[in-house]
Amino acid sequence: MLNELPVLAIAFVTVNISYGAPARHPGRSIILV
């Protein structure tokens, strides 16, 4: 379980950057995932 956390974190950030969520809508980054 602990080994999966870094992978999920990287995937979470990668998806957010690809959608540009953190720059425009920080609160919406959670909704996109």
- What are the DSSP calls for 1-33, one per residue? -TTHHHHHHHHHHHHHHHHTHHHH-GGGHHHH-
Do 16 and 32 touch, CB atoms closer than 8 A?
yes
Task: Please give the tally of structural domains in the chain.
Answer: 1
Predicted local distance difference test score (pLDDT) of residue 6:
82
On the CB side of 17, CA atoms within 13 Å amount to 6
Structural domain boundaries enclosing 24: 1-33
Predicted local distance difference test score (pLDDT) of residue 17:
67
Q: What is the pLDDT along the chain (33 residues), one digit of tens a residue?
A: 567 888 888 888 777 666 655 555 555 545 544
